[in-house]
Structure 1
Amino acid sequence: MADPFSIGVGVVGVVGLAIQIVQVVTRCGLDWKDAPTEVKAVREELQVLAQTLSITQTNILQNPDFAAAFDNRPSLLLSQLGPNAPNDTNTKVMLQSCERHLRDLLHDLEKRARGHRVGWERLKGAFLAKHTRESVGNLYRQCQTLNNMVVIDAVALSAKIHTEVMAIQEEQRDSRQEQRDAIVASQRWRQEDRAQTILQWLSATDYGTQQSDFFQRQQDGTGQWLLDSTEFRNWRSNNATTLYCHGMPGAGKTIMTSIVVNQLCTEFEYNPSTGIAYLYCDFRRKGEQKPINLLASLLKQLILNQPKMPPGVERLYENHLAKQTRPLLGEILTELHFVASTYSKSFIIVDALDECSISEGGRQEFISELLNLQAKARSNIFVTSRINPQIARELRTGYTRLEVRASDADVRKYLESQVHRLPAFVQRSTEVQKEIKNGITNAVRGM
């Protein structure tokens, strides 16, 4: 293998000789403007050769394989050009020949200039040696060809890489689409009448409609602070963790919950190994929100991402169908624990836990069963409520707390979206708008 360093030294040597030849004329007190046309042509050829060799040296140092073109054998890099690339090169011989002839030219010039008053006529003959000009021209053309081939090869390589990357991306898109199609196909059972009947029997509450309604109220761009928080990221990444988000009335806890639900549903839309279930508690529906009803709704939602209706749930439905009875809490819990355990990751989100019924210890029982589910299925639990010491105690220890409040940035984003509703004189004055935004932002105090 050719040594890039030694080749580089040879290239530098030729460039140095070309420079010395031009300098000899200057030392003789001659002006190149007065040089004969043939001599000027030689000088220009030397300058062009020096520039080309500088590029060649860079290619040698940056790509060791390029040095093979100076070792009397084909370059692996340049041979990628196929039939247009030379099978062999004599670049090394050309370099040595050019260096020898330029040394001869330099020696001849110095000899002619030594001890005599010289003019262009005395020096001209040294420049016109045919073999010197031929060696300069041959080396220039060969190096220019090699340099051009490197450029072409680099472009071809870039194009090849781009094509391969595009092919990989297309393959990945096809793979993802096939995966999505397979998941959608595997979940068509949910559209069957029997499946619909069983799911409706488990729970008639439609929290999906509430989720859509709450999320549509969100101002674009708000709530990102929660998703970016360290507390949320840790909760999202780890299993069997609890994030308790508390805040004053009007702080936006329900809207923030809808943002969390949307983020998770979007992120894991086509991931069959992840289960997501959520509840929106409401004090006006306390009669409906008993522990068994809430847990049955969680079971129903976790079933929706299954490849088929769980056999245990079908048997449970059949057992109660003939007697026209409802499932017992223990039966719901058995199926809930089983279904949640089939997922490698599951998220349970509960908004406004403080509005859950507390009669007959209902809320305490519900929280206790959530924690039991977390212990058995390693589910992640996200809970919001007003500041409530009792809920904090019922959640036991090991959870992370995060206060929810309307950030100044979110308030300003909302206000900016509502400026068009204000009178025309306000819309024309940025100062008045600024005063209004500052006043309201300071007044809301996180609500």
Structure 2
Amino acid sequence: MQTPENLLAGVCVQLADTLSGPLSKTLVDIYGSHSRLQTRPTLIEILKVLESTVDRLDTAYLVIDALDECSEQVRNVLLTRIEALPGNTRLLVTTRHVDDIVNRYREIPKIEIRATEIDLTNYITSRIFSSTRLTRTVRDHPALEQEICERVTSKADGMFLAAKLHVDALSTKGNVKTLKEALRKLPTTLDELYDDAVRRIDFQNQDDKLLALKALRWVAYTYRPLSFRML
């Protein structure tokens, strides 16, 4: 669950892993008291640990990816607390364009990262021909390939993820008529795209649907970074 406590505790763990030598007394004391009582530390206690950890570093670099995916309330608390850390803290944030985030950091240097139209077109083309169904459809109707590229590029708004989700949705269409209808009704926002992806899961057979939902819950509720093993 995304809460300021969980997110800042995660930052503490990652920074502590970079330190050599014994753990700070603040961390040891807080861990000892909560370990005995089987309780979780408060936000204030987590901040004490975070500050004591940052103090031991020459410079603490913090990267918050996809900040816009936090609720406005959570990110306001998170950013307020991080901005109050010692002056040796450096913060990098990635986010979609969200008004309250943009306004908060209006005077801070920023770089806009967007896929070019050519990049998106090449990517969409490769996705089309990685789908057996889409490959067969555009082979019989060559003009459809250009139409798919143009429509998806305009809706993707410079994001590869959006392009992928759009093409994934189109690859489920069984004929030209349903494909063209889907092209006319492509979602505009990422939230709509995610909703559409979940609906596609619902239409799968029961075993595949349960497996997909189990995987989503596993990722959503994990307490530590996930790794993978090659089989």
Q: Taking structure 1 as the reference length, what is the TM-score of the superposition?
A: 0.30
2:109 is matched with which residue: 400, 413, 416? 400
1:412 aligns with 2:121: yes
Instruction: String of CA shifts for 1:213-263, please: whole Å, max 9, x gaps.
Output: xxxxxxxxxxxxxxxxxxxxxxxxxxxxxxxxxxxxxxxxxxxxxxxxxxx
Decide which structure has the larger Cα Rg and report it.
1
Q: In the TM superposition, what is the alpha-carbon distance from 1:291 to its structure 2 partner?
A: 1.8
Give the conservation status (yes or no) of the 8 Å contact 1:351–1:385: no
Q: Distance in 1 between matches of 2:60 and 2:30?
A: 23
Which residue in 2 is equivalent to 1:245? none
Q: In the TM superposition, what is the alpha-carbon distance from 1:399 to its structure 2 partner?
A: 1.2
Give the conservation status (yes or no) of the 8 Å contact 1:295–1:332: yes
2:57 is matched with which residue: 343, 348, 354? 343
1:378 aligns with 2:89: yes
Q: Which has the higher helix share?
A: 1
Which residue in 1 is equivalent to 2:17? 304
What residue identity is the alignment partner of 1:410?
Answer: D
Give the conservation status (yes or no) of the 8 Å contact 1:291–1:365: yes
Query: How has the CA–CA distance of structure 1 residues 341 and 382 changed in structure 2, closer, same or farther, with 3 Å as cutoff?
Result: farther
What residue identity is the alignment partner of 1:371?
Answer: E
1:326 is matched with which residue: 40, 44, 47? 40
Give the conservation status (yes or no) of the 8 Å contact 1:303–1:309: no
Q: In the TM superposition, what is the alpha-carbon distance from 1:367 to its structure 2 partner?
A: 1.1
> What stretches of structure 1 of length at least 5 have no aligned partner?
1-287
Q: In the TM superposition, what is the alpha-carbon distance from 1:432 to its structure 2 partner?
A: 6.5
Q: Distance in 2 between matches of 1:385 and 1:431?
A: 33
Query: How has the CA–CA distance of structure 1 residues 306 and 409 changed in structure 2, closer, same or farther, with 3 Å as cutoff?
Result: farther
Query: How has the CA–CA distance of structure 1 residues 358 and 416 changed in structure 2, closer, same or farther, with 3 Å as cutoff?
Result: closer
1:391 aligns with 2:101: yes
Q: In the TM superposition, what is the alpha-carbon distance from 1:429 to its structure 2 partner?
A: 9.1
* Aligned pairs, number: 155
Give the conservation status (yes or no) of the 8 Å contact 1:368–1:394: no
- 1:267-306 superposed matches below 5 A: 288-306=1-19
Query: How has the CA–CA distance of structure 1 residues 431 and 332 changed in structure 2, closer, same or farther, with 3 Å as cutoff?
Result: same
Q: Distance in 2 between matches of 1:436 and 1:428?
A: 14
Q: Distance in 1 between matches of 2:141 and 2:130?
A: 12
What residue identity is the alignment partner of 2:19?
Answer: Q
Q: Distance in 2 between matches of 1:431 and 1:358?
A: 44
1:368 aligns with 2:104: no
Q: In the TM superposition, what is the alpha-carbon distance from 1:308 to its structure 2 partner?
A: 4.9
Secondary structure of 1:348 counterpart: strand
Q: Distance in 1 between matches of 2:138 and 2:66?
A: 38
- 1:47-446 superposed matches below 5 A: 288-308=1-21, 310-312=23-25, 313-359=27-73, 362-373=74-85, 375-388=86-99, 390-395=100-105, 398-418=107-127, 419-421=129-131, 422-424=134-136, 426=138, 433=145, 436-442=148-154, 444-446=156-158
Secondary structure of 2:37 counterpart: coil
Give the conservation status (yes or no) of the 8 Å contact 2:67–2:95: yes
Q: In the TM superposition, what is the alpha-carbon distance from 1:297 to its structure 2 partner?
A: 1.2
Query: How has the CA–CA distance of structure 1 residues 405 and 317 changed in structure 2, closer, same or farther, with 3 Å as cutoff?
Result: same
Q: In the TM superposition, what is the alpha-carbon distance from 1:423 to its structure 2 partner?
A: 3.1
RMSD: 3.2
Query: How has the CA–CA distance of structure 1 residues 328 and 376 changed in structure 2, closer, same or farther, with 3 Å as cutoff?
Result: farther
Which residue in 2 is equivalent to 1:104? none
- Could you tell me the percent identity over the aligned residues? 28
Q: Distance in 1 between matches of 2:147 and 2:46?
A: 56
